[in-house]
Chains A and B, each alone.
Chain A
Amino acid sequence: MRNHQLMAAGLHLGYADREIVSDLNLTIPSGKLTVIVGANACGKSTLLRGLARLLSPSKGAVYLDGKPIHQMPTREVATLLGVLPQSPVAPDAITVADLVGRGRYPHQGWFRRWTPEDDAAVAEALGATDMADLAARPVDELSGGQRQRVWIAMALAQETDLLLLDEPTTFLDINHQVEVLDLLTDLVKSRGRTVVVVLHDLNLACRYADHIVAMKSGKIIAEGKPVDVMTEKVVHDVFNMSSRIVLDPISNTPMIVPIGRHHVEAIQTVTG
């Protein structure tokens, strides 16, 4: 699969008269896993929606392979860039295979001929997300973690080089969070896809990200490899919180340990 280039230049995004993201420049590294982090309401989901052309910029532009994405035919974009929004809706009584098959929409014509390629793409997406056994089950009967995997499978069936996910691990247990991030890593490592994901959990973000983007008030505060970027100062700037950074004993990536009001004295005794 050829790598496609996604970048934002001078990007301004907002809703009605409220500007959320202002004058932002970002180049998504191809074939890497990029994680966007930041406090609530910092504009990380807004940025993702802007990158995914779900939100039109008020100024500036997002470029896909050098072309302004909002001026490209939306169907053409959908064959290059897949998006999993924050709260997708599953129609009543739809089966797993049927929902995953919806990802084939941009590849099918008006008279929706199903081809063996469509079946193969659905089968592969179900295999990659370990959902093959549940293919015939109604989506309403699945657990939260399984349901999230179905949505990821749908985005995979779209067979796009770029995949953007908005907080795919929210509402999941820790084991399912790790499972989802492992799956996204597989996509990057073994299939060479470019993945951008918004995450809440800083430690998981540092462990899984090839490239981390830390945002505050609609601006990028720092970006780069987590080990280079995630300093106590950056964490303080982004989350307005004191922390200590240690190395994750499993992955040797930065691990952020929050200090909090009640432990400030303890820290002073240890260091002082």
Chain B
Amino acid sequence: MTLVQATTIAAARRARQNHATRVTLGLLAALLVAAIAAMLLGDFPVPPETVLQSLFSPLTGISNKGVDFIVLQVRLPRLILALLSGAAFGLCGIIFQTLLRNPLASPDIIGIAHGASAAAVFCIIVLGWGGLSVSLGAFAGAILTAVAIYLLAWRNGVTAYRVVLIGIGAAAMLSAIISYLFTRARLNEVQQAMAWLVGSLNAAQPADSIVLAITMVVILPMLFVLVRGLDGLELGDDTAHALGTHVERTRLGLMLVAVALAAFATAAVGPVGFVAFVSGPIARRLMGGAGRGFPQAALVGALVMLVSDLVAQHALPGTQLPTGVVTGAFGATFLLWLLVVSGRSGRVN
């Protein structure tokens, strides 16, 4: 009897894995379609075969300077940055949401994005900085805020509840600082700061993508090792401890990974709203209990970012919206839907 059951258990596990694979492949296909659209759409029409020719021009040597500029210097860096930053936001969101057991606990709600924003606004308005130095300032702001929240929440270990509450408090305080800085600023500085705050891929530079790609290469193996600890951590600290998990070490490691992802992504594209927030819940829903959905959340994040950016660029003819406006509109709708659904069933899945 036990033998038959063991095969049943194994079959159920394989069914879950197969479902996860199907979700992953579906998301990859959607990403491919969106990526092709991103390469083809634009004010300057380039036929598909010319885009391909241009993409392979470094290998073939057949080049057309004007088209190559559009394809290799404008569209491709923007596409890559959208994919990388979206994946980073998606991952850091689901790490926080899983770790803190709360769908509201994404970095754009518990203050980390606000820390980056306040620092960036400070750099622009008070220090008069621009460009890369603003990104560095934002990065430092995100890290400092995360450390402050962690230290304030620490009381013989950190509890999810305290991190979320202190994070929301920090977010409110940092928003107040941003508002205060605006009252002291000149109009052109406010415009520059606002553009940064909304978050956009308009200024995508290859350097941003390279930094973000290196971040991912360093962080993903760490995440791969740490994520196993969540098997226990998801069941509560005592159960995790009982199963032989190093509770504080694993939690701290995962938080560092998530904060690094949030900080690097925010430094690159600004605090593009709601991508970190929506990716985890969407991935979970697609997975339907077939797994924790981390890789899928990264893919959802990349897809949300890329599609939002396409909408931002091409929805209104003649106007380029910042990407964050579109993700914000989409994310706010999603947040309302999540609240309605959770109100009905008493909990959020």
State the A residues within 8 Å of B (CB): 16, 49, 52-54, 73-79, 82-95, 97-99, 101-103, 105-106, 110, 112, 114, 116, 119-120, 122-124, 126-127, 132, 135-136, 138, 140, 158
A94 → B minimal CB distance (Å): 6
State the B residues within 8 Å of A (CB): 1-3, 5-10, 12-13, 16, 98, 101, 156, 225, 228, 231-232, 234-236, 238-239, 241-246, 284, 288-289, 347-349
Contacts of B284 in A (CB 8 A): 92-93
A124 touches B13 (CB 8 A): no
A-B contact pairs, 15 of them (CB 8 A): A78-B242, A83-B239, A88-B238, A91-B98, A93-B284, A93-B288, A102-B235, A102-B243, A103-B243, A106-B244, A123-B5, A124-B2, A124-B5, A136-B12, A140-B347
A135 touches B244 (CB 8 A): no
Most chain B beta-carbon contacts within 10 A, residue among A52, A76, A91, A138? A91
Q: How far is the CA of A75 from the CA of B231 in the complex (A)?
A: 14
Q: Looking at the complex, which one of A95, A110, A126, A158 makes contact with B228 (CB distance below 8 Å)?
A: A110
Q: How far is the CA of A154 from the CA of B113 in the complex (A)?
A: 38
6 nearest A-B residue pairs (beta carbon): A78-B244, A85-B238, A83-B242, A123-B5, A75-B244, A93-B289
B25 → A minimal CB distance (Å): 21
A53 touches B241 (CB 8 A): yes
Contacts of B348 in A (CB 8 A): 92
Which A residue sits closest to B293, measured CB to CB? A93
Q: How far is the CA of A93 from the CA of B288 in the complex (A)?
A: 7
A92 touches B349 (CB 8 A): yes
B191 → A minimal CB distance (Å): 43
Q: How far is the CA of A112 from the CA of B234 in the complex (A)?
A: 17
Q: Looking at the complex, which one of B6, B8, B225, B244 makes contact with A77 (CB distance below 8 Å)?
A: B244
Which A residue sits closest to B234, measured CB to CB? A91
Q: How far is the CA of A106 from the CA of B238 in the complex (A)?
A: 15
Q: How far is the CA of A73 from the CA of B349 in the complex (A)?
A: 35
Contacts of B231 in A (CB 8 A): 102, 105
A138 touches B6 (CB 8 A): no
A111 → B minimal CB distance (Å): 9
A135 touches B235 (CB 8 A): no
* Given contact pairs A91-B234, A116-B6, A123-B6, A135 touches B12 in the complex (Cβ within 8 A): yes
Q: How far is the CA of A94 from the CA of B292 in the complex (A)?
A: 9
Which A residue sits closest to B155, measured CB to CB? A16
* Given contact pairs A82-B242, A106-B244, A123 touches B289 in the complex (Cβ within 8 A): no
Q: How far is the CA of A82 from the CA of B245 in the complex (A)?
A: 13
* Given contact pairs A93-B349, A103-B243, A112-B228, A49 touches B238 in the complex (Cβ within 8 A): yes
Contacts of A83 in B (CB 8 A): 238-239, 241-242
